[in-house]
Chains A and B, each alone.
Chain A
Amino acid sequence: MINLTIDGREIQAEEGSTILQAARNNGIEIPTLCYHDELTASGACRLCSVEIKKGKRTRIVTSCIYQVEEGLTVTTHSERVMNVRRLVLQLLMARCPTSEVIRELADTMGVKPQERFQLDEDKGKCILCRQCVEVCEQVVGVSAIGFLNRGADKSVGTPFMEPSGVCIGCGACAYVCPTGHIEMSENENGKERVIWGKTFKMVACKVCGRYFAPQEQLEYIGKKTSVPLDTLYTCVDCR
């Protein structure tokens, strides 16, 4: 076990764990936007920034990536940290003015919009947290979506923004999206699902008749797990 201090409290944490994990395991809250327990942390949003002190040197690190070290002193809410978090939220409010999630988070942290920033109109609610791309690659394993362009023009989408040949319509990207940017809609009383410009036929549960999953998704699961398709055609509730 590693001994460290977070906000004045002496804490023990497992070697290889991150500051964020150590803090949360001890009831110390650090806000995050791009972090997800099941995904590799990318350190993209920078909201979880904390100040660390090693010897005489202090610096700002992202707690979702930085691993605990013996004797480390961590401050989760110093002025320097708050200056970073404040700017991050103000920048995201200007990028995604329609996002309730961002506005509420800013409200709870007492961060007001920076009126000097011009509001974007073309970014929707996407804060580029990367969770959709990562879940598609790391959990689903199909990499149907990725990043396009760079800098402020960066966006998430399928290659050339055309309907993807590998997307299975599972909707994991939409479920994981923290701001509700990714649109997934159902047609004809649930018989079809539309996501990333592609329409998927939904399978009705053999038992209850509810349309519960796209055909492509069930076939993909069947291939990956060797569970017979016939079994998969029964929804989880009825199994």
Chain B
Amino acid sequence: MARINNLQDLNKRREQGMASLFPSKTKVMVGEATCGLATGAGLVHNALAEEIEKQKLDIMLRKTGCIGMCYREPLVDVIEPNRPRLTYSRLTPKNVPAFLNQVLEGNHKSKKPYCRIDEDVFIGNGETRRYFSGALPDDLGEVSPMSEIDFYEKQVRIATRNCGYLDPDNIDEYIARGGYFSLRKALSSMQPEEIIEEVIKAGLRGRGGGGFPTGYKWQSCRRAHGEVKYVICNGDEGDPGAYMDRSIMEGDPHSVIEGMIIGAYAIGAHEGYIYVRDEYPFAVNALSLAISQARECGLLGENILDSGFSFDIQIGKGAGAFVCGESTALMASLEGRAGEPRAKYVHTVEHGLKDRPTNLNNVETWANVPVIVGRGSEWFSEIGIENNAGTKVFSLVGNIRNVGLIEVPMGITLREIIYDIGGGTPKGKQFKAVQTGGPSGGCIPKDMLDLPVSYDELSKAGSMMGSGGMIVMDETSCMVDVARYFLGFLESESCGKCVPCREGVRRMRQILDDICAGRGREGDVELLESMSEAIIDGSLCALGGSAPNPVLSTIKSFRDEYDAHIRDKKCPAGVCKELTEHPSQ
């Protein structure tokens, strides 16, 4: 791969990328992120390859990342010259031959497209490319444009801008969609302080859940004393049911890399690490390939884009400890020590990895950076609401019709997410609660569904933004059991360093076990509350400090369920086995 030194080189690569994004022959693209592969996308890909080979067809077969509609996977897209892009859903290896024939014949005999895409808007630079010119072909009038289907209508995709649109293994396609132009802009025309100022003005806050203003973090790290500084990307996403970062790393690894290079330049770092959990093998592969491509192109390494600035990235693999998503534990793990957090009275921007100033942001935060630099802070800050600019990626899972990955502007209400985008709860069941913020988030009840989604509002409601897991629960969920499940998760993931977390969460879980088994006692709820207070106050890190949230928030909103378990020995949802009546007995 040739080195990219200047704008001319970059434009040349852009042209190459365009030619494969909008090819002059038929292209078939399979969504092959982990979510797709889990539903059989790999088998569909193989079947397509086989059939193309067998029939000696002149068709490009490519893979792409997760476009978000996980509820419709496996997804296969067909891009033909001067035709709208067509998305077909739920393909199986068996119906591949018939499907390919209909593509060749230009009809919809065996499979109707789920939706179509008429034009592709590159969020990275604002450019729009139409897939066809002139009028819509007659046969496609009945197929809805993707932008108009409920699932997408309210979405704004910045961090996930390329997922499902490009082949993550092809750096040219990333460049064609505006990638690495922001890096060039930063290195050729902006001082580090200017970039930091832009990020501050954009109002970007940490997407890992803490919500700390990213620009101010960068500023503190830039100002910290020390010759050697580090930037880290936290890809240790470990919340049950959450896969936002995985999808970005798998579907658009270059967006993270570009963000990190820009951040490193702004901060004054020359070494970076991406810490990914080893349970994300496809993310590790995608990132490894993207890093080596970026190196070959001179976008990582010495003298990036002929600017004099040097920076490189290494991947550090985590061994699957949830606590290693905590920044100080992550850094300990990167150093080869046990993943235990330390008190953050001294900030990691001053004393972080190897005791050097270190700036850590999560995957989604980094992926936002190139867009902010490319389109400016003003453009970015107009999305979302005051003090909560931009978008947030959520994985919408649980008792919800449209399970998938969504990216929405901040300030959207939970109701809009669950009913408009998610299509509500399935099988006519009543909605009960939505859990945001991961295992240590809180459960938000029905009467708070009009809450705007923002860092501040979710905290006020006793939950938190967290990294973006959103688990919807209907009437068949027992909230005591839910609290017990999350506490059990946190108990097993506690590093065991400090007493309140190691011992306290375990004791709380045991009490919840008792309650669910009909052994609850009067006073248990009050005991859980007072323990929660002490654990929140007394724990060393945020894992323990937020562990009681699921208990506190369910007590607050579903106290009647606790009372029914303890006093009446009944589980209203019929989940807790010991409390479920058997008519035959």
Residues of A whose CB lies within 8 Å of any CB of B are 42-47, 49, 60-62, 65-67, 80, 83-84, 86-88, 91-92, 94-95, 114, 116-118, 127-128, 130, 146-147, 149-154
Contact = CB atoms under 8 A, between A and B. Distances in A.
A153 B496 contact: yes
A43 B506 CA distance: 20
Given A87-B535, A151-B494, A152-B496, A67 B338 contact: no
17 contacts: A42-B497, A43-B342, A44-B498, A44-B499, A46-B540, A65-B345, A83-B534, A86-B534, A88-B534, A88-B538, A91-B499, A116-B527, A150-B495, A151-B493, A151-B494, A152-B506, A153-B496
A88 B507 CA distance: 12
Contacts of B538: 46, 49, 60, 84, 87-88
Interface residues of B, number: 35
Most A CB contacts (10 A, CB to CB) among B527, B533, B534, B537 go to B534
Interface string B523-543: 010010011011101111000
A94 B502 CA distance: 12
A4 to B, nearest CB: 15
B498 A43 contact: yes
Contacts of A94: 503, 507
The 9 closest A-B pairs by CB, nearest first: A154-B496, A91-B503, A84-B538, A87-B534, A151-B494, A60-B537, A46-B538, A151-B496, A83-B534
Contact of A150 (B342, B494, B539): B494
Interface in B520-562: 521, 524, 527, 530-531, 533-535, 537-540
A151 B492 contact: yes
B321 to A, nearest CB: 7
- Would you call the interface of chain B mostly helix, strand, loop, or mixed? helix
Interface in B333-357: 338, 342-343, 345
Given A116-B521, A151-B502, 14 more contacts: A43-B540, A45-B499, A46-B499, A47-B499, A83-B530, A84-B534, A84-B538, A86-B534, A92-B503, A114-B507, A146-B338, A150-B321, A151-B496, A154-B495
B510 interface: yes
A127 to B, nearest CB: 8
B338 A147 contact: yes
Contacts of A67: 345
A132 B332 CA distance: 20
Contacts of B492: 151
Interface string B476-515: 0000000000000001111111111011101100110000
B502 A128 contact: yes
A117 B513 CA distance: 12
Most B CB contacts (10 A, CB to CB) among A80, A83, A87 go to A87
A149 B507 contact: no
A161 B193 CA distance: 53
A101 to B, nearest CB: 15
Contacts of A154: 495-496, 502
Contacts of A65: 343, 345
A41 B537 CA distance: 19
A95 B531 CA distance: 16
Contacts of A128: 496-497, 499, 502
Contacts of A47: 499
Nearest to A154: B496
B537 A152 contact: no
A60 B493 CA distance: 23
Contacts of B504: 87, 91
